[in-house]
Structure 1
Amino acid sequence: MRNKLQFVSITLAVLVFLSMALAQAPSQPPEMKDFSDAQKISDPQKKLEALEKIVADFPKSPFLSTVNQEIFNVLVKNWPDQKDKILALAKKMIEAVPEQSRSFIYNNVATKLTEAGILLDEAEQYASKSLTLLEDEMARTLRQRRATVLATLGQIYLKKGKIAEAEKSLKEAYEANPSAATGLAELSEKAGNYTAALDYLATAALSGQMSADARNRLESIYRKTYNGSLDGLEDMLDAKYKKAYPNPVTVEHYKPTASRSNRVVLAEIFTGSGCPPCVAADLAFDAAMERYSRKDLAVVMYHLHIPRPDPMTNPSTETRSKFYGVRGVPSFFID
């Protein structure tokens, strides 16, 4: 339920930003300009005042987490005696992100406090919480990787004709990794159960991990089931996707008003393949793309190595993230 509410809130925020952007001339978000100017200030007191003014002037900005992190760094470095203020800001920074993404923030806070030699008891607590969350994340990753190996083992058993062992390994793998669906589809096909085989292959197609050979098998079985035709296959996959991943927000197609400018809005989203809360932001922009046509909205996704290595990250995405000062995902900017 919490994930659904998170997705709804992000989607609504995205749609509001886009509606405003379509009616406005392109410009750099004012808080970003103010932050850039504040970064150039050498006097710590004046820099702190400039950063705090950004927080006061733009309390709902998606850029606020970056500003608060910089305020925290300035405080720890220049006023380590203001412990209550430092801890209050640390709490705000941590609470601003979903629990499953807090490991990085906890550790970042603990590191800064340790380097400054202050609040070491609190630093220990933050580091311990970071470790607990990290271990939970590693356990999830281990289950997924184990499932991948089980799927491979199941395929080996299948090729060796060890049907019982293959079914056991593949079903266990399927609970955590839908890529095992292709092996289960083969077992179902061998048993003559084309309905089950088709369902498994459709699941594999939705996972985004389907090979060209598996796709050919999907189409072949679909033809056998539907009188030699592929008509309706994509509709079937779309329906299965919507059932498996229901969208809690229903959007209406955008109808321009008198205030509509002739510009195309650019939305830049920073995400990560290993970032659970990024799913809500990604789906929110899917909803936005359903509402707006490509002449109204262009979406560019940038992958980063946050919170774990991401194979879709490249020098261009990292350079763009530095331009915006991105320190966490998901983050997005609309122009």
Structure 2
Amino acid sequence: MEAAQELIKNAIDVATIYNRVAFNFAESNMWLDSALVYSTLANQLYEKTYGRKRVPFLDTKALVFYKLGDYEQAYKTQKEALALYPKEREWDPNFVEYYYHLALYMYKYLKNEESLILMARCSFFGMEEATKMLDEIFSNENLPYTKSEIYKKSAEEYFRSTKQLEEARSIVALGWAKQNILMDDAYQLAKLSVEAINENTPVDQIATSYTTFGVINVLKGSYNEGIQNLLEAEKYSSPYNTDLYYHLGLAYEKIGDTINAYKTYLKGVLAFTPELIMERLKVLHQNMYSSGPTLEEVIRTEIEKIESFEVEKFVKPEGLEKVVLAELFTGSECRPCLAADYAYDKLIESFHTNTLGVLEYHLHIPAPDPMTNEDTEARAKFYGVNSTPTSIIEGTQRISAGGNKTIAKSRYEVFSMVIKKYLQKSPEASIKLDVKKIKNKINLSGVVKTTRKDVKDLKFFAVLAEEKVHYKGYNTVSEHRFVVRKILPERNGISFRNKKELNVKASVDLSKLQNELKDYLDNFEKKANRKLFKEKKYAIDENNLYMVSFVQDEETKEILQTNVLKIE
């Protein structure tokens, strides 16, 4: 108690400290009356300071009520907290702990079926605590429904609520299988998810579907089938896929292939070091290489190798007319953007501009970025992007891209695979443009045509991008590529107006554009009432500019064709 009072006395953010003290008391089941006082003060102070309530603070207060045995207030407080979240967050596994608390308090207060269904959802989202609680409830109480019925009702509710059915099937199947729940049902769900894969299935979903099916096969003892599934998943997965590398290594061990088991576990610890994989890797290393380099030396050598990977120049096959568009939403202050930034640098190195157009939109995520502007924010809104990094290829393929530099090689390989797939498609539009720079002015003119019958949702965009901008933010990247400066003729694109041919004419004055960029950054600081940028990157190198133009379906987000021109 004295330590807590000293902490509060010296605190700058008093509301957060009040909340932390209350939480620690509740977790320790000590001084609960004081915990309630501190939690109430934390919530009051935060709301008074920021004009809104905060979910984690209310969650702490609900926990205190629960520990005090006041289940009604615990339930009502937790419900109040979660009402602050948008509805779709209810199905986001990242917030499962908050919803488990709601389920627990609801059950203690109301003893209803709804609370058990919610608890079962938390279980298949991977929360073992929810699984154990359900086991305890069904073991000790005589209920009018079985545990299996609750699990299935929860899954059916999830399937009805989501637009991403295959992703939902995979999540449920993996959650059940890893906790040995309804294994046969999990197998069938995973099988359905794999069978549903087609040419339009997002890359991340392909990885998830094959990972889930592979893990279940391994857990069922079908090791060769599991290996086949997991190797297919690896083509699309990031090194963060712990389930893949652990169960693939385990399957190799089960069939006596310790060399491939060792290699697989090693891959699984390069991006980070999950304890589950590291334990098995240490055992194999000791058994196989006890007299060689240490495991730490082996890991360090592998990391150095993949962080300095080289790429080959891609030669576009004759007859292919498609140019692919790769868009990256990033931020100079975004540390997890490292992998995506480096991977995109390698794409630029590998693919010529007659094959690939690259655009990088800087955003103020997680902190102010001096290369952000109104047009980059408008493009983020167009796609519904609210986090960085977000990589989008051909308008429809969102591929997870976050991570440290060790992840870059994996992301480059997946991006390249997707790009090469789209290059095989016939373009549904042609872009014939003439771009000239006269003094400080860039003039754009030309004709854009489409072969599509339905043109009502088609729009044309021309994006002025600076090929290299030098600036070093928190993520340590010092050279930013194809930085978006302006979208022409209008930031939301121009419509084909129900015609198959569009005559384009636009211009931009670079001096005026620089002033616009500067004004935007100045106003952004003015709203915050403090200095936000160590350097404002509004100056444009007029000898370092490209025009990347494309035709896009506003409804489906598909890119029909792209064109890249160096501005001379």
Q: What is the TM-score with the length of structure 1 in the denominator?
A: 0.35
Bigger helix share: 1
Bigger strand share: 2
Q: What is the TM-score with the length of structure 2 in the denominator?
A: 0.22
